[in-house]
Chains A and B, each alone.
Chain A
Amino acid sequence: ELKVEQNPLFLSMQEGKNYTIYCNYSTTSDRLYWYRQDPGKSLESLFVLLSNGAVKQEGRLMASLDTKARLSTLHITAAVHDLSATYFCAVGARYNFNKFYFGSGTKLNVKP
């Protein structure tokens, strides 16, 4: 079974700083999705990465995928308080794109 590991699980950072969240997975896949979840809310889709080397950017967030290393990163540039949330990566199973395996999430707290 595909395993997805995120780190760190908790991240407390100051506004204005940069940081990276890592998502490692155990078996071959070229479909990787990032979601954001605010407390008590549902999951909001952030990025869809569908090939090796894919890079997507939206505002202060940038996501990339390295399928050879089985690694995706979510980079935060000049963090602001509004980015405080839990971020999940999900990997689509190689032989069944419908089946997603989620990491445990990274809880990000950006302090003013």
Chain B
Amino acid sequence: GAGVSQSPRYKVTKRGQDVALRCDPISGHVSLYWYRQALGQGPEFLTYFNYEAQQDKSGLPNDRFSAERPEGSISTLTIQRTEQRDSAMYRCASSLAGRAGSSYEQYFGPGTRLTVT
């Protein structure tokens, strides 16, 4: 079946602009996660949702970053007033977490490469 999809795959923006990154999880997956991955590093947790509820946003670097999942499916990560240090790969993952017998295994999307110039 279809995996996790993300759009756009690449985004170049000027410093100070707002960007919105989209994630479409695997159908039926309850939980959705956002990560940021710097080159040569492992993914770093940003936030996650169970259905439409944002359960943990402790990894969001500052208040310029926000995320939503209004209908419990597609999610958007928004970065306001982008800065050069925001340049990274942003990855989304989804899982059956919370369903009986789930291993909480997370399935990752292809990512959005964000470059802030």
Which residues of chain A have a CB within 8 Å of any CB of chain B?
4, 31, 33, 35, 41-45, 48, 50, 88, 90, 92, 96-105
- Alpha-carbon distance between A80 and B31 when the two chains are bound, in angstroms: 36
Task: Tell me how far the C-beta of B102 lies from the nearest C-beta in chain A, rounded to whole angstroms.
Answer: 9
**CB-based nearest B residue for A4:** B42
Chain B, range 7-40, C-beta contacts under 8 Å to A = 31, 33, 40
Which residues of chain B have a CB within 8 Å of any CB of chain A?
31, 33, 40-45, 48, 50, 55-56, 91, 95, 97, 103-111
Q: Are A96 and B56 in contact (CB under 8 A)?
A: yes
Given A42-B91, A42-B110, A42-B111, check contact A97 B104 (CB 8 Å): yes
Q: Are A104 and B31 in contact (CB under 8 A)?
A: no
**Main secondary structure on A side of the interface with B:** strand
Given A48-B103, A92-B104, check contact A98 B33 (CB 8 Å): yes
Partner of A99, one of B56, B110, B111: B56
Q: Are A99 and B43 in contact (CB under 8 A)?
A: no
Q: Are A43 and B43 in contact (CB under 8 A)?
A: yes
- Alpha-carbon distance between A101 and B44 when the two chains are bound, in angstroms: 7
Partner of B103, one of A4, A50, A88, A104: A50
Partner of A103, one of B42, B48, B56: B42
- Alpha-carbon distance between A103 and B40 when the two chains are bound, in angstroms: 11
Q: Are A100 and B45 in contact (CB under 8 A)?
A: yes
Q: Are A98 and B97 in contact (CB under 8 A)?
A: yes
Q: Are B48 and A102 in contact (CB under 8 A)?
A: no
- Alpha-carbon distance between A42 and B5 when the two chains are bound, in angstroms: 11
16 residue pairs of the A-B complex, CB under 8 angstroms, read A31-B104, A35-B108, A43-B43, A48-B105, A88-B43, A97-B97, A97-B104, A98-B48, A98-B50, A98-B95, A99-B48, A100-B43, A100-B45, A101-B45, A102-B43, A105-B40
